[in-house]
Structure 1
Amino acid sequence: MRINTLVPDTEGDLAWPPFGQDKRSVVAVGNFDGVHRGHQAVLKRTVDLAKSYGCESVAVVFDPRPTVVRKYAQEHDGAELPLGEFYPDPYALTDIGTRLDLIEKLGLDRALVIRYSMAFGAKSYQYFLGQLVGKIGMRNIVLGRDSRMGAGRAGDPKSIDSIAQATRMFEVDVVDDRGPGEVRVPLVNTPEAAEIMDKVNDPDNGLTKAERRALSKSVPNHLARVWSSTYVRYLLSHGHVEQAADILGRPHEVNGRVVGGKQRGRTLGFPTANVAKDVAGFMPADGVYAGWLTDVDPETGEERRYPSAISIGTKITFGEPEARVLEAYAVPPLDADGNPEWLDLYDHHVRVEFVRFLRPQVQFDGADELVAELKRNVEQTKEICK
């Protein structure tokens, strides 16, 4: 997949890459944060249409997420997020590298990464559609059912199709990317509110319509599509990694670099990889999880994947309640003599996948009690990942 990064000028205009005079394309546009099953439906349709018409399949991806750019502008008197400046986005499910990897696996020919800016976001959807047609030969645009684009998010599928019908320059293909209906998500995401909304969203809990309606009114909430980044974020924030994986079509993952720690895990017999540098991806709720750690060797790029017991939270047992950290105990393979291999992961880039929630973070009375629980968690992990 060819990747081009487009940086708007101060007026929000783009220098589009050359596509060839006679080149035509089928285009999907969006943030694609998480590349969940709804996104996958849109992107797969884009690939299929492009193949049927002999066109190039193109994903137009915005990065950073528009929400982040607008937040920065609000905090800095309307200023643009400076090019190259790091600005945290803790709510992004996936970083741009992971998104592009996932998009490529779906068979797209090209990705255009537009560095979102306030000036670009002020352009109308009519202007943007004209650019897609005139600059990259858009023959078809593939949209999700609830897609919005352009200033004020005014460009919905109906409005875009009206332009297509009037100009006859392109066609619109709308994919139902919403999944199995809608759910309610609390406006204030507390454990108490989440517990109530989980009851409201569960169709098999035996509640009557009146009881469900009364519960729903007891907590301020809003509707969200089941197949949506918003709902995945909500699920992960409460440790529901299996439900999130069902929507993503794969286990949720974060990635980052392993740094040196206090080596307390090694003294306990459970040397952990402290993933604490350049961490990208939405961090699930505090707790212990069964999952996988994929080690990417910094010199060779070779990947090795290990079942892992993963801990997210603070080290309250050892009186360190401040820093929230991710640690993963990668279950090592056995050597020829049946002994565990030594895994040197320091300074390696790793991916951590979350398969199942095992338990919340708790404070133990001492190291012995903690070690006993860690042993149990490791055996659970081996069985789950077997």
Structure 2
Amino acid sequence: MKIIRLTPDATGLVAWPTLSAAKKSVVTVGVFDGMHRGHQAVVSRVVELAGKYGALSAVVLFDPRPALVHGWAKAHGGEEPGEGVADADALTDADERIRMMRAMGVDYVLVVRYTLAFAAKSYRFFLGQMVGKLGMRTLVLGQDAAMGAGRAGDVKAIRTLAEGTGVFELDVVDDRGPGYVRVPAVIEPRMPEVHGEPADPLAGLSKAELRAWSKAHNAKLTRVWSSTNVRWLLSQGRVRDAAEVLGHPHAVEGTVVHGEERGRTIGFPTANLGDEIAGYLPVDGVYAGWLVDMGPDDDGDAGELNEQSRLAAGSPWRWPAAISIGTKPTFSEKTGRHERVVEAYAVSDDWLDLYGHRVRVEFVGYLRPQIRFDGADELVAELKRNVEETKRLTAE
């Protein structure tokens, strides 16, 4: 797979490359945050049609997320977020999305830096560029897709354009999954107070109770297969339900740094992730999951080459892990939120020296809320229980 990174000029124009002088392309466009089942359905269709037509498969990937760019501009007098602004609401970074697209067999990923000037271009102009520059013969979209200035280019408008011009065809994929769910307009993390996987708060409610809950939370109908729903589930500790939408366990990545090393003194040394964490952090609590050693952080291309072998089930770089997420009282200027701490205790008989390594933390199940213990003995007993539960859940 070839990755091409493109930055629009001050007027929003992109210097699109020529992918091939001989082959047409099948293209999809979007953010694909989280690469959930709906996204996978769209990308799989791109690869399928490209194979059928003897064409190139291409994904135009917007980064950063449009929601971050427009939200930041609204809050900062029209200013766009700079390179150092972290997107705390992104489920995955662009590298993770690209990794999954590579595994799915995509030929090209064109990562376009999303800017306000680029967003101001009409969908007609944008699609004309796709046809003229990328040789697009087929555009693949999900059912609720929209693009261009004011999001005027919805599926209906694009289909009319495709049929009217005859220069490309539109293929629409059912990416909605099992219907819709109600999600609060403002997602506020809430740590479950009980042990074990949190239940769906809407399960078993009567119609009247559901209406009351929706009104109290200003809830909106949202596709089950959506990034918004995944953020909601993770913010409530419902990592198993999130995995159902994603089609895989949710994960974050970061570099292991030296912590206070208190865990080592009681026999539970943890890998502490630094401040630069890629991926959406679930609500505070203790989770069962996996810790994957992705190699030294400065491996570069060599690290990318063996990513799949390290991520594979049963690889020697992968261990069951009890994962703790907590919140510091300090406020981060990069994210506009309080700083979070991620620690993972790998269930292994060997001493793991992971300092300076990039690691991946995958969430399999919620174990318990953060608790203040009266003494070390009580804490050690609870950690032992967490380890046994982690072994059970990861063995499943």
| TM-score normalized by the length of structure 1 | 0.90
Shift of 1:209: 3.2
Q: Map of 1:242-321 to 2, 5 A cutoff?
A: 242-298=240-296, 301=303, 303=310, 304-314=317-327
Shift of 1:367: 1.6
Shift of 1:190: 4.6
The residue matched to 1:119 in structure 2 has which SS? helix
Corresponding residue for 2:2?
2
Shift of 1:377: 0.3
Using the alignment, how far apart are the partners of 1:308 and 1:369 within structure 2?
20
Letter of the 1:376 partner, please give it: R
Corresponding residue for 1:132?
130
Corresponding residue for 2:229?
231
The residue matched to 1:114 in structure 2 has which SS? strand
Using the alignment, how far apart are the partners of 1:308 and 1:341 within structure 2?
13
Letter of the 2:382 partner, please give it: E
Query: Please, which of 357, 364, 370 is the counterpart of residue 355 of structure 1?
Result: 364
Percent identity over paired residues? 58
The residue matched to 1:173 in structure 2 has which SS? strand
Using the alignment, how far apart are the partners of 1:32 and 1:158 within structure 2?
21
Corresponding residue for 2:32?
32
Asked if structure 1 preserves the Cα contact closer than 8 Å seen for 2:30 and 2:62, the reply is: yes
| TM-score normalized by the length of structure 2 | 0.88
Cα deviations by residue, 1:105-144 (Å, 9 ceiling, x for unpaired): 1111110100100000000001001000000110000010
Shift of 1:15: 0.6
The residue matched to 1:17 in structure 2 has which SS? coil
Shift of 1:211: 4.0
**The 10-residue stretch of structure 1 (207-216 or 352-361) with the greater mean CA deviation from structure 2:** 207-216
Does 2:394 match 1:385? yes
Asked if structure 1 preserves the Cα contact closer than 8 Å seen for 2:288 and 2:389, the reply is: yes
The residue matched to 2:146 in structure 1 has which SS? coil
**The 10-residue stretch of structure 1 (61-70 or 33-42) with the greater mean CA deviation from structure 2:** 61-70
CA gap 1:235/1:154 in 2 versus in 1, 3 angstroms: same
Asked if structure 2 preserves the Cα contact closer than 8 Å seen for 1:258 and 1:277, the reply is: no
Using the alignment, how far apart are the partners of 1:128 and 1:159 within structure 2?
13
Using the alignment, how far apart are the partners of 1:89 and 1:126 within structure 2?
29
Does 2:370 match 1:331? no
Asked if structure 1 preserves the Cα contact closer than 8 Å seen for 2:188 and 2:235, the reply is: no
Letter of the 1:61 partner, please give it: L
Instruction: Quote the RMSD (CA, aligned, Å).
Output: 2.1
Cα deviations by residue, 1:271-328 (Å, 9 ceiling, x for unpaired): 0000124210000011101100001221674630010000001489xxxxx8530000
Cα deviations by residue, 1:74-132 (Å, 9 ceiling, x for unpaired): 233223334xx211100000011101001111111110100100000000001001000
CA gap 1:191/1:311 in 2 versus in 1, 3 angstroms: closer
Using the alignment, how far apart are the partners of 1:135 and 1:289 within structure 2?
47
CA gap 1:315/1:330 in 2 versus in 1, 3 angstroms: farther
Shift of 1:230: 0.1
Asked if structure 2 preserves the Cα contact closer than 8 Å seen for 1:125 and 1:154, the reply is: yes
Structure with higher Rg: it is 1
Using the alignment, how far apart are the partners of 1:323 and 1:144 within structure 2?
35
Q: Map of 1:111-130 to 2, 5 A cutoff?
A: 111-130=109-128
Shift of 1:69: 1.4
CA gap 1:263/1:315 in 2 versus in 1, 3 angstroms: farther
Using the alignment, how far apart are the partners of 1:213 and 1:75 within structure 2?
32
